């Protein structure tokens, strides 16, 4: 075997020294970023360097990072679902506070029960003006509660609509940033340079998008990331695409999507609102258009109290007491079933009854007070029977109230499960991809030993050169 010159030995030792220096630098960056969100552990890639088939030191390749792509995808899917449930729970909890507990004055079921009590007092003393005015005062309280609930629901819908705009902007900004990072990564890949830190930054942006909506993604040549909506529409496959949305500052119960003055989200001119199933945007759409909406026969909170108000109004009117009316200028002001949408926000106590309290006893179909029948409790007793025995009225209240309260219980149970699952997945990926301080310090010791060994070889070669130069 040919004896290689000292210069070759020196070059090999220098390559080992440089490799150790680079490895120590990587470990130092790992330790410095141990608490940096989104940072993944980087590791050194080395391979033997050859020259003419002979070993010639060590060659450094671009550093890598360890990321389990399948685990990352699973985490982000669950992350989107978890973010949706968090938003739903927040909004529904706030509405639950507004709705009140069953024994609170702000609770509509409690107010209707108190209305029943005033009719019981009226049935006992039908000629009492105090009892008659008590009915009217409590009816006013029921109306106020329904009006306030409508305002609260529409405020939450308006907030959800505004938040859609915030989320859409966040998605668009993140897509643009991913595109910029794609360009930087593509350039460095072509130059054979490391891209691990840039990939970390890109993943942070992808996570921002996943927070807002459900997405799918994959990488193609030159490590370019392609991002699609959950339904498969391109957000980034070439030039970045932008979502478009225009918010409505104030929504009313008569505002609805689609076709009712409320806007959808478009991509390249196509309305894709119905395709947002997860993420914060999915939650805001569901709150605005379903959970808090008003559609005839619907299950949204506004639909529920509208239906409750309509049932209550119709039930009283069917018993010859038009106690409640609609502010819409129709028929005139008599509630019509065709106008149920938003009725809980428009309901009022019949001004004729307010001006003539005796009508709480005699009804609204008579032309004048029956002064010789002031002790007749027939109508108040009929109303009491409606409260206590009429299945349609009582079950309507119970079903409506239970649906409003039960909605958040269901969401909260789902959130607890989903939150635990998402946290577990996040911990798994951090265990795999995150920086382990003990592991890095152990590697640092190994690299120091390797550095020292290469340095000793270099020192030995230097000593040998010095001896050669000292020869006569």
Q: What does the pLDDT look like over 109-137, one tens digit per residue?
A: 888 889 999 999 999 999 999 999 999 99
Which of the pair, 67 or 331, is modelled with greater confidence? 67
Determine what percent of the chain is predicted with pLDDT higher than 70. Answer: 91
> Are 178 and 205 in contact, with CB atoms under 8 Å apart?
yes
Question: What pLDDT does residue 337 have?
Answer: 81
Measured between alpha carbons, how far is 168 from 171 in angstroms, rounded to an integer?
Answer: 5
Question: If we measure between CA atoms, which residue out of 79, 82, 71 comes closest to residue 430?
Answer: 71
> Are 211 and 83 in contact, with CB atoms under 8 Å apart?
yes
When the pLDDT of each residue in the chain is averaged and rounded to a whole number, the result is 86
Residue carrying structure tokens 């379903």: 290
What is the number of other CB atoms lying within 10 angstroms of the CB of residue 104? Answer: 11
For 234-248, 255-269, 329-343, 409-423, which range has the lowest pLDDT when averaged over its residues?
A: 329-343
Measured between alpha carbons, how far is 151 from 189 in angstroms, rounded to an integer?
Answer: 56
Determine what percent of the chain is predicted with pLDDT higher than 90. Answer: 47
Query: Looking at residues 306-311, what average pLDDT do you find?
Result: 89
DSSP 232: S
Question: What pLDDT does residue 393 have?
Answer: 60
- Beta strand 234-236 with 324-326: parallel, antiparallel or unpaired? unpaired
Q: Give 163-204 pLDDT, tens digit per residue.
A: 999 999 999 999 999 999 999 999 999 888 889 999 999 999
Q: Is 90 exposed, middle or buried (0-12, 13-18, 19+ CB in 10 A)?
A: middle
Q: Give 410-458 pLDDT, tens digit per residue.
A: 888 898 999 899 989 988 888 887 777 878 788 778 878 877 887 787 8
Measured between alpha carbons, how far is 297 from 299 in angstroms, rounded to an integer?
Answer: 7
Question: What pLDDT does residue 1 have?
Answer: 37
For 73-87, 299-313, 319-333, which range has the lowest pLDDT when averaged over its residues?
A: 319-333
Query: Looking at residues 133-148, what average pLDDT do you find?
Result: 95
Can you give 366-388 as a three-state secondary structure string?
CCCCCHHHCCCCHHHHHHHHHHH
Which of the pair, 5 or 218, is modelled with greater confidence? 218
Query: Looking at residues 29-38, what average pLDDT do you find?
Result: 80
Is the pLDDT score of 56 beyond 70? no
> Are 358 and 132 in contact, with CB atoms under 8 Å apart?
yes
Question: What pLDDT does residue 397 have?
Answer: 56
Residue 391: pLDDT band by 50, 70, 90 thresholds? Answer: low
Q: Is 355 exposed, middle or buried (0-12, 13-18, 19+ CB in 10 A)?
A: exposed
- In 416-426, which positions are buried (b, 16+ CB within 10 angstroms) versus exposed (e)? eebeeebeebe
Which of the pair, 55 or 39, is modelled with greater confidence? 39
What is the number of other CB atoms lying within 10 angstroms of the CB of residue 15? Answer: 18
Question: What pLDDT does residue 296 have?
Answer: 63
Q: Is 196 exposed, middle or buried (0-12, 13-18, 19+ CB in 10 A)?
A: buried
- Quote the pTM value: 0.85
Residue 7: pLDDT band by 50, 70, 90 thresholds? Answer: confident
Q: Give 208-223 pLDDT, tens digit per residue.
A: 999 999 999 999 988 9
């Amino acid at each position: 075997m040919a004896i290689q010159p000292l210069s070759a030995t020196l070059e090999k030792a220098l390559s080992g020294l440089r490799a150790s220096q680079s490895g120590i630098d990587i470990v130092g960056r790992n330790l410095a970023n141990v608490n940096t969100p989104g940072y993944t552990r980087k590791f050194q890639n080395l391979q033997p360097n050859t020259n003419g088939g002979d070993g010639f030191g060590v060659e450094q390749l671009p550093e890598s990072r360890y990321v389990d792509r399948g685990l990352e995808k699973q985490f982000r899917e669950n992350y989107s679902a978890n973010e949706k449930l968090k938003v739903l729970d927040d909004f529904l909890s706030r509405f639950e506070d507004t709705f009140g507990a069953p024994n609170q004055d702000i609770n509509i079921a409690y107010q209707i029960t108190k209305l029943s009590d005033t009719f019981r007092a009226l049935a006992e003393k039908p000629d009492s003006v105090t009892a008659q005015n008590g009915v009217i005062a409590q009816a006013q309280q029921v109306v106020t509660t329904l009006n306030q609930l409508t305002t609260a629901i529409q405020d939450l819908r308006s907030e959800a609509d505004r938040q859609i705009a915030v989320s859409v902007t966040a998605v668009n900004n993140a897509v643009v940033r991913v595109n910029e990072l794609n360009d930087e990564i593509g350039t460095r890949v072509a130059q054979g340079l490391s891209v691990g830190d840039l990939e970390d930054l890109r993943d942070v942006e992808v996570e921002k998008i996943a927070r807002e909506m459900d997405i799918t993604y994959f990488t193609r040549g030159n490590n370019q990331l392609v991002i699609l909506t959950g339904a498969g529409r391109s957000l980034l496959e070439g030039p970045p695409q932008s979502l478009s949305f225009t918010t409505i500052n104030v929504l009313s119960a008569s505002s609805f999507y689609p076709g009712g003055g409320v806007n959808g989200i478009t991509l390249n001119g196509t309305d894709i609102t119905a395709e947002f199933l997860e993420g914060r945007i999915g939650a805001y759409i569901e709150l605005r258009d379903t959970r808090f909406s008003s559609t005839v026969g619907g299950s949204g909170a506004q639909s529920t109290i509208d239906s409750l108000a309509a049932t209550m109004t119709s039930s009283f009117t069917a018993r010859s007491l038009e106690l409640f009316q609609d502010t819409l200028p129709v028929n005139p002001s008599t509630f019509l079933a065709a106008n149920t949408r938003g009725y809980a926000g428009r309901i009022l106590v019949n001004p004729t009854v307010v001006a003539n309290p005796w009508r709480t006893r005699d009804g609204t179909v008579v032309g004048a007070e029956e002064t010789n029948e002031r002790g007749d409790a027939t109508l108040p007793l009929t109303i009491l029977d409606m409260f206590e025995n009429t299945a349609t009225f009582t079950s309507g209240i119970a079903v409506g109230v239970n649906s409003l309260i039960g909605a958040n219980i269901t969401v909260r149970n789902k959130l607890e499960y989903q939150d635990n699952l998402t946290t577990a997945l996040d911990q798994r990926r951090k265990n795999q991809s995150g920086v382990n301080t003990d592991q890095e310090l152990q590697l640092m010791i190994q690299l120091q030993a390797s550095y020292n060994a290469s340095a000793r070889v270099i020192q030995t070669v230097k000593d040998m050169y010095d001896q050669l130069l000292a020869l006569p």
